[in-house]
Chains A and B, each alone.
Chain A
Amino acid sequence: MGLLNRLDDPFEGGGIILGKVEDLLNWGRSKSDWYLHFGLACCAIEFMALNASHFDFMRFGTIPRTSPRQADFIMITGTVTLKMADRIKILYEQMSEPKYVISIGSCSNCGGPYWEHGYHVLKGIDRIIPVDVYVPGCPPRPEAMEEGMIKLQKLIREQALFNGKDRIEELEAKKALKI
């Protein structure tokens, strides 16, 4: 729970108001995430439940957009088949920078239950587009998706805007320092 409590506090790490411009910009981006929901299969239903009143995904400042141009991150929920894979690539390319990808559920992580005999299933969405956060589960609970969202917000918050380093490396480096 330690992790989550820290993430929950928006004024963590020196406070945004007094912080640097980078912090402010990152704060804005992390708190206002418009997403393109790429609903494919079972996970999409749980994702709909996540949008519903009990979980209320909009608490995180997320707003669904149907156009990839306006989306900040794309949520891939479900099994990606080979017939579908090209479309995801196109959609991802249409999104405007900065863009992120959350892969939700076993299927989009690695093919899930279909990884062994699924001749028509793409085994892992990361074979065609880079993935920022993997959420496991088949389907994941809505809370697990929320946790993935918090992880993504954390990633955006800790992103270095100006020195151009790869963000995952940056994060890893920070973690290495912490541990």
Chain B
Amino acid sequence: MLANEIYEILKKEFGDGILEFKEEAPSDPYISVEPSKIFDICHTLRDSSELMFDYLMCLSGLDLGESLGIVYHLYSFKHTHKIVIKTTVPKETPTLPSVMHLWRTADWHEREAFDLYGMIFSGHDNLIRILLPYDWEGYPMRKDYNEPEEYHGMRVPY
């Protein structure tokens, strides 16, 4: 199934929840959606028989300046099609529903996004830091991050 067909299906179902569809080379075609609807949209994407996106390839956080973005790359084993779902959340209140219960693989990806970007995934069972130590301060992948001078008595800069 092509990306614009998927967009049509989603648009029919969710209406305002779907913000934008963009397809221009060389980028992958993507659909931008409302962050609050992400769980429902993903649920439809996974369970509807014509979409069947059972494989979450990648979940990435992005720093877009004023807001933070989350990108879901989905793939379907059955229909061998893929789609990119994008959403943005404001930097001050970066909260959005978790998709961990749809695809268990999102568990660690979301923890990583939380760890590096500080997004809060509501509904995640165990949202704690994954790569960095538990007592680390700040979200290092944000563009305005400054590395700390010292950690546990060890100097961090060269």
User: Using a CB–CB distance below 8 Å, which chain A residues touch chain B?
Assistant: 82-83, 85-86, 110-111, 115-117, 119-120, 122-123, 127-128
A111 with B158, Cβ < 8 A, contacts A83-B132, A119-B140, A119-B147 known: yes
Name A's interface SS. Answer: loop
Q: Which residue of A lies closest to B145 (CB)?
A: A119
Number of A-B contacts (CB under 8 A): 31
Interface string of B115-152 (1 = CB under 8 A from A): 00000000000000001110000001000010110011
Interface size class of B (residues with CB under 8 A): 10 to 19
- Chain B residues contacting A86 (CB-CB under 8 Å) are 152
| Pair B152/A120 contact, Cβ less than 8 Å | no
- Chain B residues contacting A119 (CB-CB under 8 Å) are 140, 145, 147-148, 156
A127 with B156, Cβ < 8 A, contacts A119-B140, A119-B147 known: no
Selected A-B contacts with CB under 8 Å, 6 pairs: A86-B152, A116-B158, A119-B145, A120-B131, A123-B158, A127-B155
Residue of A82, A86, A115, A116 with most partner-chain B CB within 10 A: A82
How far is B69's CA from A137's CA once the two chains are assembled, in angstroms? 38
| Pair B133/A83 contact, Cβ less than 8 Å | yes
